Amino acid sequence: MKIVMLGAPGAGKGTQAKKIAESFGVPHISTGDIFRANIKNNTELGKKAKVYMDKGELVPDELVVDLIMDRFSEPDCSNGYVLDGYPRTIPQAEALDSALKANNDSLDFAVNVDVPDEEIISRMSGRRACLKCGATYHTSFNPPKEEGVCDKCGEALVQREDDKEETVKNRLGVYHEQTEPLEKYYAEAGLLHNVDGTKNMDEVFDSIKIIIG
């Protein structure tokens, strides 16, 4: 069971990736986690990645694929994995496919958590966070008892820069331009499955379970 998760920022694909991993006993793999683990363990690949990251540059696709393939070779991936946050572009998807093919391997599913832009903007721009204790709220779906005040510790709640409407719109623009074409790419490969991400998270997960069996 080798799965790639797709979906716009804020669609909930990370949450679903974790649920799949827990339910089916496979690792949830994000490129950020791979980078951090390799840098922490001072591996050769980690040293190479750190050179780019320290300069604030993107890690080249070839090196990212090397890091991912190295992660796939670990014992916990023997029954599969859920890949979250990669690939983000067609060239990255092609590089991943080529690397898998060289190992006589391939992906099984590309699951796209589909949520309209308007709902994502509403979801993300309504988020509020407590910087002191880490509690999170939503102005519509999970409001604090007192507006603007954390229920747990009484500190003022803030809207993170990433959650401001203009930032969300910009992130969605980048997504539509760079990442959304992956839907067509994986559809043409016969791997794409769309799920309605506007439902509650348990219903979304039920839809995914039907797809991956």
Q: Which CATH superfamily is domain 2-212 in?
A: P-loop containing nucleotide triphosphate hydrolases (3.40.50.300)
| Tokens linked to 195 | 């799920």
- Residues 166, 1: Cα–Cα separation, whole Å: 37
Q: Of residues 36, 50, 169, 171, which has the active-site annotation?
A: 171
Instruction: Name the percent of the chain lying above pLDDT 90.
Output: 86
Strand, helix or coil for residue 128? strand
| Tokens linked to 23 | 């339910």
Is residue 151 a contact partner of residue 145, using CB atoms and an 8 Å limit? yes
Rounded to 10 degrees, what is the CA torsion of 7, 8, 14, 15? -90
User: Hey, where are the domains in the chain?
Assistant: 2-212
Q: Of residues 18, 160, 184, 209, which has the active-site annotation?
A: 160
pLDDT in tens, 60-72: 989 999 999 999 9
- Residues 212, 53: Cα–Cα separation, whole Å: 35
pLDDT in tens, 149-166: 999 999 999 999 989 999
- Residues 88, 85: Cα–Cα separation, whole Å: 7
Q: How far is CA 54 from CA 8, 67, 210, in A?
A: 27, 17, 43
Instruction: Name the percent of the chain lying above pLDDT 70.
Output: 100
Catalytic-residue membership of 171: yes
pLDDT in tens, 25-80: 999 998 888 988 999 999 999 999 999 888 888 889 899 999 999 999 999 999 99
Catalytic-residue membership of 48: no
35 exposure class (CB count in 10 Å sphere: 0-12, 13-18, 19+): buried
pLDDT in tens, 112-126: 999 999 999 999 999
Average pLDDT, integer, range 155-178: 94
Rounded to 10 degrees, what is the CA torsion of 24, 30, 36, 39? 100
Q: pLDDT band for position 127 (50/70/90)?
A: very high
48 exposure class (CB count in 10 Å sphere: 0-12, 13-18, 19+): middle
Q: Of residues 13, 19, 71, 128, which has the active-site annotation?
A: 13
Q: Of residues 71, 123, 127, 128, which has the active-site annotation?
A: 127
What letter does residue 176 receive in the DSSP assignment? Answer: I
Q: Of residues 36, 50, 88, 169, which has the active-site annotation?
A: 88
Catalytic-residue membership of 184: no
Catalytic-residue membership of 127: yes
